Structure 1
Amino acid sequence: MSPLLDVRGLTVTYKTSGGDIPAVRGVDLSVAPGEKVGIAGESGCGKSTLALALLRLLPANAALGGEILFDGDDVLKMSFGQLRAVRWAGASVVFQGAMHALNPVRRVEEQIAEPILVHGGDRRTARVKAAELLDDVGLGAGKGRAYPHELSGGQKQRVMIAMALACTPKLIVADEPTTALDVMIQAQILRLIGGLVADRGISLLMISHDLSVLAGTCDRLAVMYAGRVVEQGPAGEVFTDGKHPYSRALAAAFPRIGDDDARRNPQGLPGDPPDPADLPTGCAFHPRCPVAVPICPDVDPQLWSAAPGRDAACVHVKEN
């Protein structure tokens, strides 16, 4: 089956007065129809830039290279009219931080109806559809008359999900959809997203810094570091048996409730991801890597086969 989304050699470079900043550096990624794919990594690894690049939602100083094939058509070569037809109807986005994505002076039912109207629907159809979607996300049609400030964080996120579903897209891109929510509401939102995309046969690309969230939600997982994918494979396997030391560090940082060892000896990595404007030589992860060897500053590893269906960019994988 041909991929619904096929990203090939994607690069994103921000042009600034201080020089070029490479935020995404040659990413290959695919999402099949009905598939759920996760992208994990710390803040600053290029996840959100990648998500926004898929529908060309980046600022004017972002230069894009490579290919983004959606249903066989290259998003990077589309005219504005073609791109407008794809947004919401072909692919939609659940943005991080719903309060910043919703218009504070418009009722939520109007905001859910807006993409339907933009794509040719009439007002009555849009109003009925908005009410149905509010029911689908567990809010009820009565909440449509509310303004965003009258809703809780979890309720606002549900509105964003309803907006993303308004034009029956083939793909939903969820960028950190639960970051600002408490643990209980986060679990509800994840179940809601998973259920809705499964019921409708929609593909999902979910972005998070939390590997455990993605492992429990997605079929496949890609781990990003310093603008590149450093490991990819089945989500459960990447979480429990990471082939790249960065993947293992992300998984180890997940707290185990009730485990005294985890409480007394919290895991994690020292330091932060590198500044994209000042990347280390060789493997970008080597300054923080607990298993770095002398050749790591000199070798820029590519994604090599680490196991059936698994790839990782690490010299230890190549050696084996």
Structure 2
Amino acid sequence: MTVPAATSVRSLLQVRDLRVSYGEGASAVPAVRGVDLTLGAGQTLGIAGESGCGKSTLALALLRLLPPTARLSGEVLLDGEDVLAMRWGRLRAVRWAGASIVFQGAMHSLNAVHRVGEQIAEPLLVHGRATEGAATRRSVELLEQVGLPAGRAGAYPHELSGGQRQRVMIAMALACDPQLIVADEPTTALDVMIQAQILRLITELVTDQDIGLLMISHDLAVLAETCDRLAVMYAGRVVEEGPAQEVYDAAVHPYGRALSAAFPRIGDPSSRRSPRGLPGDPPDPLALPDGCAFRPRCPVALDACGPDEPLLREASAGRWAACVRVEREDV
């Protein structure tokens, strides 16, 4: 079931019944199970969930960056063209130019033996967007655009701080003027001050350049501050989707509420003095329970939560949740 876009802006990205598994036959591990998403130009969509819920697999699937063991089905429409059906040459042309990705852990994503300016210029040269001299000048402009001095272009990754390396990754993602940027945990391992700077930078770039941003994080507070809309994933499925601040403040799905409650609220002494976690662990993808996958951990589970897995249903205007309580008065 495709969740409709929140506004009437042009759809940049449409994900329809995306399924990803690793391996084959009875031992195949289902990582993403029928995800539907829509993102418009100039919009930001956050994807949240615990480790193992399928967030990063989803991000990599959007540009077919998964290993050969992955099996994909469904549609990933980038400006109307299905990424999953593209021939290799077309896919190579779309990466960086049509859509780019900012990976978590910039130190592991950058080439340690090449200067960062060269790495920013590389996609421009590969895609024939500039001559070598023009690409070098453009790499300096991009560094300045993300708040780094021009002189940093001659630095190696190990000579930069974590926040500076993350800015380099963002500059690389912007090099070929893509329509879509996928940011997978872009502030992982950064201190709170640098994290705030990176998030502010990303938000400003989306607004100024009218690009679409899909940001992945386990931190609902970060996504609520940065994104227009928020989708919460559990066991490979989207279980809630809606305006980011509304999902963070008043989630409809019990898992969304538990995830939100796990983060202390600034200015709320009660949340700091009585932090709430979520007992138990996410289910084994090879042994998912009948009905709602969250049922074994859900504090308000009902008999009606099984045996069928609930579908996304409209809980209110612009709000969707995969919970049987959506149909009841006690949501």
TM beyond 0.5: yes
Give the corresponding residue for 1:206.
Answer: 215
SS at match of 1:31: strand
**Are 1:237 and 2:256 matched, yes or no?**
no
Output the CA distance in 1 between the equivalents of 2:24 and 2:102. Answer: 28
Question: Which residue of 21, 24, 28 maps to 1:20?
Answer: 28
Q: Could you tell me the TM-score, scaled by structure 2's length?
A: 0.94
Secondary structure of the residue aligned to 2:231 is strand
In structure 1, which of residues 98, 106, 117 is the aligned counterpart of residue 125 of structure 2? 117
Q: 1:33 aligns with which of 14, 38, 41?
A: 41
Aligned position for 1:226: 235
Deviation at 1:250, TM superposition (A): 1.2
In the superposition, relative to structure 1, how do residues 35 and 259 fare at CA in structure 2: closer, same or farther (>3 Å)? closer
Structure 2, gaps ≥5 residues long: 1-8
Which of structure 1's runs of 4+ aligned residues deviate more than 3 A? 257-260
In the alignment, which of 9, 14, 18 is matched to residue 6 of structure 1? 14
The TM-score with structure 1 as length reference comes to: 0.97
Q: Which amino acid is 1:209 matched to?
A: H
- Equivalent residue number for residue 94 of structure 2: 86
Q: Does 1:267 align with 2:276?
A: yes
**AA matched with 2:95:** R
1:208-246 alpha-carbon deviations (Å, 9 max, x no partner): 001111111111111100000000011111111111011
Question: Aligned to 1:143, which of 144, 152, 160?
Answer: 152
Give a deviation string over 1:100-129, Cα, whole Å, max 9, x none: 100000000000000000000210111010
Count of equivalent residues: 320
- Structure 1's unaligned 5+ residue stretches are none
Per-residue CA deviation, residues 148-183 of structure 1 (Å, 9 max, x unaligned), is: 001111010000000000000001000000011111
Cα distance between partner residues in 2 of 1:144 and 1:199: 23
Over the aligned positions, Cα root-mean-square deviation in angstroms equals: 1.2
Instruction: Report what 2:290 is aligned to.
Output: 281
Q: How far did 1:254 drift?
A: 1.2
Q: Which amino acid aligns with 1:315?
A: V
Superposed CA offset, 1:26-79 (max 9, x none): 000011111111111111000000000000000000000000011111101101
CA contact (8 A) 2:263 2:275 kept: no
How does 1:56-95 map onto structure 2 within 5 Å? 56-95=64-103
Residue identity in the other structure for 1:161:
I
Q: By how many angstroms is 1:16 displaced?
A: 6.0
State whether structure 2 residue 308 is matched by structure 1 residue 299.
Answer: yes
For 2:126 and 2:228, how far apart are their aligned partners in 1? 33
SS at match of 2:303: coil
Correspondent of 2:194 among 166, 171, 185: 185
Question: Aligned letter for 2:252?
Answer: K
2:115 aligned to which of 103, 107, 120: 107
**Is 2:162–2:190's contact at 8 Å kept on the other side of the alignment?**
yes
Cα 1:33/1:259, change in 2 over 3 Å:
closer
Using the aligned pairs only, state the percent identity: 69
Kindly provide the amino acid, as one letter, of the partner of residue 215 in structure 1.
A
